[in-house]
Amino acid sequence: AQSVTQLDSQVPVFEEAPVELRCNYSSSVSVYLFWYVQYPNQGLQLLLKYLSGSTLVKGINGFEAEFNKSQTSFHLRKPSVHISDTAEYFCAVSRLTDKLIFGTGTRLQVFP
């Protein structure tokens, strides 16, 4: 079965600094990878996804992620964060005929 590990439960960062949120997955077969975001008191929404093709995926709000098969990673990055990026970020994995499994989440706190 597939699984997801988010190594950092909290990431504090100052506004306009770069940020990387780490995600590693385990699966014996090809996977699809997703990042979802949950803003305070809101539901989850999709940030970006990797299905196939280019390993660098761009999403909403200036975020991007890179699929690295050899390291089984799908880290999320943004070159310059804003206060409004403060939220919980979830990495998720699925396989062709299987359910969507989430990591434990990373709380990004952006300080002025």
Partner 1 sequence: GAGVSQSPSNKVTEKGKDVELRCDPISGHTALYWYRQSLGQGLEFLIYFQGNSAPDKSGLPSDRFSAERTGGSVSTLTIQRTQQEDSAVYLCASSPGQGRTEAFFGQGTRLTVV
Q: Which residues are at the interface with partner 1 (CB under 8 A)?
A: 6, 9, 32, 34, 36, 42-46, 49, 51, 90, 92, 94-105
**Beta carbon nearer to partner 1, 13 or 44:** 44
Q: Whole-number minimum distance, CB 38 to partner 1, in Å?
A: 9
Residue with smaller CB distance to partner 1, 15 or 102: 102
**Rounded to the nearest 10 degrees, how much is the dihedral formed by the CA atoms of 106, 70, 29, 104?**
-10
User: In terms of CB distance, is 14 or 39 closer to partner 1?
Assistant: 39
Q: Are 19 and 13 in contact (CB under 8 A)?
A: yes
* Separation in Å, CA 68 to CA 55, 57, 75, 97: 7, 11, 9, 22
Q: What is the Cβ-side half-sphere exposure of residue 37, based on CA atoms within 13 angstroms?
A: 19
Contact 27, 90 (CB under 8 A): no
Question: Which C-beta is closer to partner 1: that of 45 or that of 80?
Answer: 45
CB of 34 to partner 1, least distance (A): 7
Taking the complex as a whole, the smallest distance from the CB of residue 8 to partner 1 amounts, in Å, to: 12
Q: How far is the CB of 44 from partner 1 (least distance, A)?
A: 4
> In one letter, which amino acid is 74?
F
